[in-house]
Structure 1
């Protein structure tokens, strides 16, 4: 793991909305629609934050119909594991409100 990778991950983790998303994903896979509802952000805003997390190799996604479901990567870095250990899980994020 080199400096550019660490820099990318640390920058992605340095945002309260992205940390809130990770606290939701800590309990498992979550649909974007549920994150929108729980976080009180617009769908484009949530998608933008998720894109930054995905580009930093922190989360991965799969498409289900017209919605995307996100989860933490299978092999998280030490930096990500340390961050996740400090976040409380938010199980309220798993509402399954997507059509």
Structure 2
């Protein structure tokens, strides 16, 4: 396994130091999500959530896929930080109950 540069890792760890962004990563470990789902889960404005998502995307931690009118975000399995992200998330509580809560409220978007 190739070593990650300290400067790059410091940037990623700083991004994950934000509770909202760290929770977004944990949610994406459970399921792909769109911004509107994050808005519902975090009870934050769409522009605020979009800014968090953009920072994660700019750091190559997440990717986006368009499905119809929706853009879904997922963990970037090709990122040099993917294994590190998985390692970090193993020490944190799973967020699957939040995904289930979205489904119960009828707010989980499915394009299947």
What does residue range 34-45 of structure 1 map to in structure 2 within 5 Å?
Answer: 34-45=37-48
Gaps of 5+ in 1: none
Q: TM-score, normalised by structure 1?
A: 0.83
Q: TM-score, normalised by structure 2?
A: 0.75
Deviation at residue 81 of structure 1 after TM alignment:
2.0
Specify which of 45, 55, 74 is matched with residue 77 of structure 2: 74
Mark the structure with the bigger radius of gyration: 2
Counterpart residue number, 1:87 = 92
Gaps of 5+ in 2: none
Give me the CA root mean square deviation. 2.1
Which shows bigger deviation, 5-14 or 89-98? 89-98
Counterpart residue number, 1:28 = 31
With a CA cutoff of 8 Å and minimum separation of 6, indicate the structure with the bigger relative contact order.
Answer: 1
Query: 1:58-89 deviations in whole A, cap 9, x for unaligned?
Result: 11111234432111111352431222112222
Residues 1:64 and 2:72 aligned together: no
**How many residue pairs get matched?**
99
